[in-house]
Structure 1
Amino acid sequence: MSLWDFLFPPVCPHCGASVATQGDWCESCFTDLLHIRHVPNKFLHYVEDVCVLAEYRGGLKSMIYDVKFNEKKEQSKGVAPFLASYNLYMKYDEFHIVNSKCSVIYDYIIPVPSSERKKAKRGYNQVDLFFINWAKSLQNIDNKHFAWLDCLYKFDTSNDMWALTNKERHQNIEEAFVIGANYKDIELKDKTILIVDDIYTTGATIEAVAKVIRAYKPSKIDALTLASGSF
């Protein structure tokens, strides 16, 4: 047991039951929240597939909120078992990746960025905290794929999405993203892309990001989010 765990005994983020280490969930709560599913195609335009890992409620909702707004970076560890379940779902293990037996192997994993103002205020982009170590673990298996590509820039002209209607969300975010100045010559043609984000609500953010990436003519754009409510 680590000193941190000794001083602050780890508990399930959802129900408060004792667990082995920080970031763990009790089996009951994890099973209740885990719900791997795909957004119906009728909602998708620039992105081909959006996979959601869990229900946006209870302890997972609180964890995401605390990481985003309460500077509790350490709670981002709680996403690990959900991403491990995604690995099982996609057959992302050494045997299947090395032998190209996965349904999709992505060339690049691209995080949805925060605006510079929000990133400066928090000190980080929460999407990086949630996904970057997972991406690195995949690239440790296959260093020719799964590269983390933080190539997007978000203008600080949009309002907070949580306060807007569905129509306002799309209008607010539509032109908010561009490829960053240092990546203008990036070669994405015929590459497979996975966009990662924390929450799927209306799809406005992911569609806006995918629209920008689509101009570089990749062969495939999918997305992965931690959580969503009902579609």
Structure 2
Amino acid sequence: MSLITHLFNLLYPPHCPSCGAMVPREGDWCPACLAAIWHPRRIDKPASVTHLCACYCLADYRGAMRRILHDIKYNGREGKCRACRTLLERFPWPERFAQVSLAVPVPLAPEKLQRRGFNQAESLFRDWAESRWTWCDALQRLRPTKVQWQLRRQQRADNVRHAFAVKETVDVRGKHILLVDDIFTTGATLEACASALTQKGAASVTGLVIASGAR
């Protein structure tokens, strides 16, 4: 820990993002709150998700985790991404990403990006991913889509079908890609992105999200 960081922590002691208890460094969770949300797993994805080889998540989408991700996405609290990056550092199966060469975020629609000021997938994952692979904004949105949480499962799939494409300036042929986003609900968004990537020749697409309510 640098002297500047030490002095900053003395003046502004870091707190658990859930309960507010004092913790050793900014972004850390206290043991009890971490145990309440920490549930790393390979998600049992629906049969309709075929282009995405697998998807992993770190935490259950409930309680403090749900509040933090909601604050990031809808209240502009980008600083709360630190609590999620701490979880990424604990990912228990790094060997499962041994073939990955590119980390690709799910893109935001331009109007949402302008309104929010940042893409939560980039803010959550980029620092962590860039120390391991090449970060690549390979995808773009082709058309506006409705907010996914308002829709039922089939409506979600229809909403994002053919909504994404690989940018003409990016070559993903033969690449093993880690596709990152904040939440996995039905997998419709990740599947639509994976479909676009594999159609352009990606060798494989594996998902990684912060949280999910799926098993």
TM-score normalised by structure 2 residue count: 0.89
Find the partner of 1:136 among 117, 130, 146. 130
Partner of 1:10: 14
Residue 2 to residue 56, structure 1, CA distance change in 2 (3 Å)? farther
Determine if the alignment matches structure 1 residue 34 to structure 2 residue 38. yes
* Other structure's SS at 1:15 match: coil
Equivalent position amino acid for 1:168 in 2:
Q
Gaps of 5+ in 2: 1-5
Partner of 1:126: 120
Report if aligned partners of 2:140, 2:165 keep a CA contact under 8 Å in 1. Answer: yes
Find the partner of 1:153 among 126, 136, 140. 140
Q: CA deviation at 1:36?
A: 1.1
Distance, in Å, in 1 between the alignment partners of 2:112 and 2:97 is 36
Identity %: 31
Determine if the alignment matches structure 1 residue 45 to structure 2 residue 50. yes
Distance, in Å, in 2 between the alignment partners of 1:72 and 1:103 is 29
Residue 154 to residue 72, structure 1, CA distance change in 2 (3 Å)? same
Q: CA deviation at 1:85?
A: 1.4
Gaps of 5+ in 1: 92-101, 139-145
* Other structure's SS at 2:178 match: strand
Partner of 2:3: none
CA RMSD of aligned residues (A): 1.9
Q: CA deviation at 1:103?
A: 5.8
Partner of 1:186: 170
Distance, in Å, in 2 between the alignment partners of 1:222 and 1:167 is 22
Partner of 1:195: 179
Equivalent position amino acid for 1:36 in 2:
P
Residue 26 to residue 217, structure 1, CA distance change in 2 (3 Å)? same
Matches within 5 A, 1:59-70: 59-70=64-75
Distance, in Å, in 1 between the alignment partners of 2:74 and 2:85 is 20
Report if aligned partners of 2:183, 2:209 keep a CA contact under 8 Å in 1. Answer: yes
Q: CA deviation at 1:82?
A: 1.2
* Other structure's SS at 1:85 match: coil
Residue 60 to residue 103, structure 1, CA distance change in 2 (3 Å)? closer
Equivalent position amino acid for 1:111 in 2:
P
Distance, in Å, in 1 between the alignment partners of 2:21 and 2:190 is 35
Work out the number of aligned pairs and report it: 209
Find the partner of 2:203 among 219, 223, 231. 219
Distance, in Å, in 2 between the alignment partners of 1:51 and 1:19 is 27
Partner of 1:163: 150
Q: CA deviation at 1:230?
A: 2.9
Distance, in Å, in 2 between the alignment partners of 1:117 and 1:104 is 35
Q: CA deviation at 1:218?
A: 1.9
Q: CA deviation at 1:122?
A: 0.9
Q: CA deviation at 1:25?
A: 0.6
* Other structure's SS at 1:129 match: helix
Partner of 1:55: 60
Distance, in Å, in 2 between the alignment partners of 1:52 and 1:5 is 34
Residue 219 to residue 14, structure 1, CA distance change in 2 (3 Å)? same
